[in-house]
Amino acid sequence: MKKWMAYVLTGCLMGAMLSGCAAAPAPASSEGNAAAADADTAEETQEGGTLVMATNAEFPPYEFYDGEDIVGIDAEIAAAIAEDLGMTLEIEDMAFDSIIASVQTGKADIGAAGMTVTEDRLENVNFSEPYAESAQMIIIQEGSDVTGPDDLVGKTIGVQLGTTGDIYAGDIENATLERYNKGMEAIQALTQGKVDAVIIDREPAKVFVSQNEGIKMLDEEFTVEQYAIAIAKENEKLLADVNASITKLKESGKLQEIVDKYISAE
């Protein structure tokens, strides 16, 4: 087992009794982050400045709490980009469906949250070059009669609010959607039999399945997607800088190194 996974597992086991896995307190520095974010508009982004990243740290292995710190693939990629740009990274944790607005209004410079590039989102923000491939996957209780996407007709489906799982599950005929603030809450609803299936991104799906008895992920993908970093439309300089950094991280092998630290090859 990877070291970080042990952190998540212990954190969840202890946290679950109190208030659930995702209820880790915000880091002590988060108020400072918020103040910095207010003062630091997208236009001021520059060498020596602060790069404010908006995320939703309920999404292992891309972003999650390790004690008081937000860690994960996105956190490390953003840190590497900030370093490349000569900037200091600050991470702001928020609801997933607030990230785009906070980037649009300049409260955050970038949104990095395992965020899928979609046509609708492209109307509000720009996206960097993609840095990961993903898919929406279906999780069910063991023994369920659901064997693939076609069997979801008429079912009750749990999703995380505002995610592509939420958006695309809306196309399933006669399905009832139950929307949760955290992916983990959708999983808990599944284990309690309150929903028939959960639709969520592949890597978090694997983590959640590994942490909960009696559920499994189907092999067939519901959708295939790409993750990229959201940046305000008017901040073209930052978009170019971030893209240049992503290219460097890909070419140097650093991006793959970060991914390998959190995702074991199959």
Q: Does 96 bind ligand ARG (CB under 6 A)?
A: yes
Given 114, 139, 146, 243, the residue binding ligand ARG (CB under 6 A): 114
Distance in Å, CB of 253 to ligand ARG, minimum: 25
Q: How many Å apart are CA 107 and CA 105, to the nearest integer?
A: 6
102 interacts with ligand ARG by CB under 6 A: no
Which of the stretches 5-13, 107-115, 206-214, 256-264 binds ligand ARG when contact is defined by CB under 6 A? 107-115
Stretch that binds ligand ARG, among 5-13, 31-39, 82-90, 113-121 (CB under 6 A): 113-121
- State in angstroms the smallest separation of the CB of 163 from ligand ARG: 3
Give the CA angle between residues 45, 71, 244 to the nearest 5°. Answer: 40
* CA distance linking residue 229 with residue 250, whole number of Å: 15
User: Considering the complex, what minimum distance in angstroms separates the CB of residue 33 from ligand ARG?
Assistant: 17
Which stretches of 33-109 are assigned E, i.e. beta strand?
50-55, 64-66, 69-71, 88-93
Which of the stretches 51-59, 206-214, 230-238, 257-265 binds ligand ARG when contact is defined by CB under 6 A?
51-59
Of the pair 46, 181, the CB lying nearest ligand ARG is at 181
CB 63 within 8 A of CB 204: no
Contact (Cβ atoms closer than 8 angstroms) between residue 187 and residue 198: yes
Output the smallest distance, CB 258 to ligand ARG, in A.
Answer: 16
33 lies in the binding site for ligand ARG (CB under 6 A): no
Say how far apart CA 54 and CA 105 lie, in whole Å: 12
Cβ closer to ligand ARG: 45 or 180? 180
Q: d(Cα 26, Cα 93) in Å, to the nearest integer?
A: 8
Place of tokens 């900030």: 82
Establish if 128 lies at the interface with ligand ARG (CB under 6 A).
no
Window contacting ligand ARG (CB under 6 A); options: 114-122, 149-157, 229-237, 250-258: 114-122
**Tally: H helices and E strands in the chain:** 10, 13
If one asks whether residue 80 binds ligand ARG (CB under 6 A), the answer comes out as: no
Question: Does 235 participate in binding ligand ARG (rule CB under 6 A)?
Answer: no
C-alpha distances in angstroms, 74 versus 175, 196, 257?
Answer: 32, 30, 13
140: left (phi over 0), alpha (psi -120 to 50) or beta: beta
In terms of CB distance, is 85 or 112 closer to ligand ARG? 112
E strand residue ranges, 142-242: 156-160, 176-180, 197-201, 215-217, 223-227, 230-232
Question: CB-wise, 96 or 262, nearer to ligand ARG?
Answer: 96
Residues near ligand ARG, by CB under 6 A: 55-56, 58-59, 63, 96, 113-116, 163-164, 201
